[in-house]
Amino acid sequence: MQVAMQLWDTAGQERYRSITKQFFRKADGVVVMYDVTVEESFRAVQPWLSNVQEAAGEGIPILLLGNKMDMEGEREVSFKEAEQLAFENKVMFFEVSAYTAKNVTESLTHLARVLMEQEDRVRDTTVILSAQPVKKKACCK
């Protein structure tokens, strides 16, 4: 099956928070990315996750990505601590490398699957709701 994903790259700086919030509201899913070689970028993850969930609702699928996994020698953020943060916030998590392409397709395919499952659930709900018996009008008893 082919799925088209439209990815919008928004600014990650604190000062653009109110602008990016408007993007989250309209998104089906959100990717939050930090740099495994920059501890500070990881510290910004939790506030961003809260920000996204506040704007888009708790149920929005979020994919947390730790980029630059190819730069092992300069790593400042461990896989384990990021995994823990992802677990606590109920978000998906992968380490990736935009440089080597490691896990790029895998992580986005995973997000696409989750989005499609969610869409199926919404569709199922609609079907169930429309299957409710319609009350007859008094005149037709």
Ligand X SMILES: Nc1nc2c(ncn2[C@@H]2O[C@H](COP(=O)(O)OP(=O)(O)OP(=O)(O)O)[C@@H](O)[C@H]2O)c(=O)[nH]1
| CA max distance for the chain | 79
**Binding residues with ligand X: total (CB under 6 A):** 7
Q: How many CB atoms lie within 10 A of CB 108?
A: 19
Residue closer to ligand X, measured from CB, 62 or 68: 68
Q: Which amino acid is at 77?
A: V
* Binding test (CB under 6 A) with ligand X, winner from 17, 21, 70, 75: 70
Enumerate residues 6+ apart whose C-beta is below 8 A from 67.
33, 34, 35, 36, 95, 96, 97, 98
User: Alpha-carbon distance 129 to 76, whole Å?
Assistant: 50
Measured from the CB atom, the residue of 20 and 67 that comes closer to ligand X is 67
Range 10-69, binding ligand X (CB under 6 A):
67-68
Subset of residues 87 to 116 that bind ligand X, contact rule: CB under 6 A: 97-99
* Residue with smaller CB distance to ligand X, 34 or 86: 34
Shortest Cβ 73–ligand X spacing (Å)? 11
Residues in touch with ligand X (CB under 6 A)? 67-68, 70-71, 97-99
